[in-house]
Amino acid sequence: MTKRILSVVSAAVFMFLCGSAAAMDWKDIHEKADKTSLPEAVAYQQKNPQSPEALYLLGIVLLNDYKVDEAESVFKRMLQADPRSIEAGWGQAEVLRRRHEVDKAEKILEEIIQKDPEFSPAYITLAYMIFDKREYGRSISLASKVIRQGREKVDLTNYARAYLTIGGAKAMLADEGGIFSKLFQGTQILGYLKKAQELEPHSAGVLFGLGSFYALAPGIAGGDAEKGLAFLKETIEVDPRFADAYARLAQIYFRRNEEGLAKKYLAEAQRLDPLNPLTQRVAREHK
């Protein structure tokens, strides 16, 4: 009888722990993080020191504020409290991605997706890294899974990023492919970018995607160099630490033979994120 009681209690404790781990409303926390300042997130966590939700909110806000080392400390605290935390595992992978430790990050993200195929932030982070490895088809596949999940299951920012990722990947396929690829992929790009714009019109990522398209696409496909430059300059007004935008501006000014401006923007991109793949590519092309 005693063994049976202990067994029931153990099962109840296990169910409680699993339930508490699964109960975090990550979608709501991601959306709150995009509207929460760092002082607000710190204050909220201090008032709720035992809350994994408060820690997760703080970790995301720190990432949004480019405080990667501090974010890493927060996600480590979460993992110490609950080594099974999918949210903390994603945070750890996102920190690794930003440090360009992509192999380590990819392994963590694939494990997360196996455990919880509905956790869309893992797909987006993985899609970003795969994009940088020039595996554009796989990047599209990952982002498409997020879109198929539906807006009601995905936070706004990651849902918009899914459309941006597909648009960007199709742009690269069109740019690097033959005439049929240019015709097939090129006609779809702007539609995905416009969908992202409908969702988050003032997002730096959206502005960067639109700016890149208009600046680099040929006129026959809707390109408009001046419009592209305007979007890219707006990107760095919204987010002055967006390294890709400076690298893209450098790339465009190099193509226009305006080397003074090009070198200025490239230097800023290198200062912000010297290991950024786009920054490195532009630097290699214009040694």
Domains of the chain, by residue range, sit at 204-287
- Per-residue model confidence (pLDDT) at position 216: 87
Going from the C-alpha of 147 to that of each of 49, 112, 132, the distances in angstroms are 35, 18, 20
- pLDDT tens track for 59-84: 999 999 999 999 999 999 999 999 99
What is the rounded distance in angstroms from the CA atom of residue 253 to the CA atom of residue 261? 6
Contact 168, 124 (CB under 8 A): no
User: Could you tell me the pTM of the whole model?
Assistant: 0.88
Retrieve residue 196's tokens: 């992202």
pLDDT at residue 268 is higher than 90: yes
- Output the average pLDDT for the chain: 89
- pLDDT digits 0-9 by tens, 200-230: 999 999 999 999 999 988 877 788 999 999 9
DSSP character string of 69-136: HHHHHHHHHHHHH-TT-HHHHHHHHHHHHHTT-HHHHHHHHHHHHHH-TT-HHHHHHHHHHHHHTT-H
Residue 59's nearest CA partner among 76, 81, 74 is 74
CATH code reported for the domain at 204-287: 1.25.40.10
